Amino acid sequence: MIEVEINQRLGDFQLDVGFSGDGGVTALFGPSGSGKSSVIKIIAGLTRLASGRVVVDGTVLADGKGRHVPPYRRRIGVVFQEARLFPHLSVRNNLRYGRLFTPRDQRRVAEEPVIETLGIGHLLDRRPATLSGGEQQRVALGRAMLASPRLLLMDEPLASLDVARRLEILPLIEALRDEFGIPIVYVSHAVEEVARLAGKIVVLEAGRVARQGSPADVFRIAADRFAIMSVVEGRLGAPDDAFHLTPIETPAGIVWLNGLVRPLGRAVRVLVHATDVALATRRPEGVTIRTVLAGTVADIPDGSGPSVTVDVALQGGTRLAASVTRAAVAELGLEPGRQVFALVKSVALDERPL
């Protein structure tokens, strides 16, 4: 449980941010310069809080009135954008570093499961300089975990990696989240990352909280139709090896994902751009679209532009935004309560971040 309230001037930048988070991942999301990293530094104690409060698990770490617990007494782990491994220590000793300073009765995270989850067992005797960027970041994740922190901060941990490495590490962060139960505050400007990881998203804009809520709520609201996204959740089914597709089973139907994604049964989220969704009043035939989800129209906002974002309630309750022309809405006679089928192009979906 974390509670953050910051009212502070940093140079010529005013930061006014308040949010709270419970277990799981709380994402700070926003463009660069929106103040995300400053918030992380204040929570970690690397920047002194001038006014506000930082409370973790009921302990006040900083109150802007003279209370400032130094970073090394906060037991808050940080994974930085750069791995920041100690170059003079082996991977093994990097991993064990935080343990030295963790009181025996608070060493909740054991070495083996972390090393196994991150797949770094074969690197233990190497020096950081000999590791690839992705390997370094995996070791940095392990190092932070093994200090058994009560909160883990991640400041754009994937930003300096290429797409393939991100794909490799994102599931590891998911696994850490699910297996070790340490709450995480995750900073990123990548929609796919936060949508996949976070239970709660805090959107920062120019030093303020623009909105906050679940991924599904946060991304459904945007002025620009290309920025409107829905989050659909389901479980991975058995991949179709011949055609390189993986089904995600949802109550409204099967979402087909590009590529072979495992393991079977894992809960996953996909982001669906509103502009990639079409609506039909009958289950269509003779189209190339593979993903057909059943639901009813929940809302059609009034508007005068050429397009409109229709809010569809899928079977099972998930909301899906579909950006369609007003002309089509009129022609099909779409109105709230009407049964529809949402069509999503499978090629628009995959699990790849970015």
Partner 1 sequence: MPELSPDAWIAIALSFKVAAVATLWGVPLSTLLALVLARGRFPGKALFDGVIHLPLVLPPVVTGYVLLLLLGRKGPVGAFLDQHFGIVFAFRWTGAVVAAVIMALPIIVRAIRLSIEAVDARLEQASGTLGAGPVSTFFLVTLPLSLPGILVGATLGFAKALGEFGATITFVSNIPGETRTIASAIYTASQSPEGDAEALLLSVIAAVIGLAALVASEVIARRFRRASS
Using CB under 8 A as the criterion, which residues of the chain lie in contact with partner 1 when the complex forms?
44, 46, 70-73, 75-78, 80, 82, 84, 86-88, 97-98, 100-102, 129, 143-144, 147
- CA–CA separation, 114 and 208 (whole Å): 36
Q: What are phi and psi of 143, to 5 degrees?
A: -60, -45
Q: Which is nearer to partner 1, 48 or 244 (CB)?
A: 48
Nearest distance, CB of residue 56 and partner 1, angstroms: 14
User: How far is the CA of 240 from the CAs of 56, 171, 235, 275, 337, in angstroms?
Assistant: 45, 21, 15, 26, 35
Q: Which is nearer to partner 1, 18 or 180 (CB)?
A: 180
Q: Is residue 200 within 8 Å of residue 26, measured between CB atoms?
A: yes
Peptide bond into 263 cis (omega under 30): yes
* Rg of the chain over all Cα atoms, to the nearest angstrom: 22
Q: Which is nearer to partner 1, 80 or 256 (CB)?
A: 80
Q: Which is nearer to partner 1, 69 or 254 (CB)?
A: 69
Residue spans of alpha helices (H) in the chain: 36-44, 91-96, 111-118, 133-145, 163-180, 191-197, 215-220, 326-332
Q: Which is nearer to partner 1, 13 or 101 (CB)?
A: 101
Nearest distance, CB of residue 98 and partner 1, angstroms: 4
Q: Is residue 152 within 8 Å of residue 183, measured between CB atoms?
A: yes
Q: Is residue 350 within 8 Å of residue 259, measured between CB atoms?
A: yes
Q: Which is nearer to partner 1, 154 or 313 (CB)?
A: 154
Q: Which is nearer to partner 1, 98 or 215 (CB)?
A: 98
Angle formed by the axes of helices 111-118 and 163-180, nearest 10°: 150
Q: Which two tokens stand for residue 55?
A: 């409370």
Nearest distance, CB of residue 140 and partner 1, angstroms: 8
Q: Which two tokens stand for residue 91?
A: 């991977």
Q: Which is nearer to partner 1, 38 or 230 (CB)?
A: 38
Q: Which is nearer to partner 1, 147 or 322 (CB)?
A: 147
- CA–CA separation, 62 and 56 (whole Å): 10
Nearest distance, CB of residue 104 and partner 1, angstroms: 13
Nearest distance, CB of residue 160 and partner 1, angstroms: 13
What is the DSSP track for 197-253? H-SEEEEEETTEEEEEE-HHHHHH--SSGGG-EEEEEEEE---BTTTTEEEEEETTE
Nearest distance, CB of residue 198 and partner 1, angstroms: 22
Nearest distance, CB of residue 55 and partner 1, angstroms: 18
Q: Which is nearer to partner 1, 42 or 218 (CB)?
A: 42
C-beta pairs of 117-125 under 8 Å, 24+ apart in sequence: 117/172, 117/175, 117/176, 117/179, 118/142, 118/172, 118/176, 119/172, 120/91, 120/95, 123/91, 124/90, 124/91, 124/92, 124/95, 125/90, 125/91, 125/92
Nearest distance, CB of residue 84 and partner 1, angstroms: 4
Nearest distance, CB of residue 346 and partner 1, angstroms: 42
Nearest distance, CB of residue 49 and partner 1, angstroms: 16
Q: Is residue 258 within 8 Å of residue 244, measured between CB atoms?
A: yes
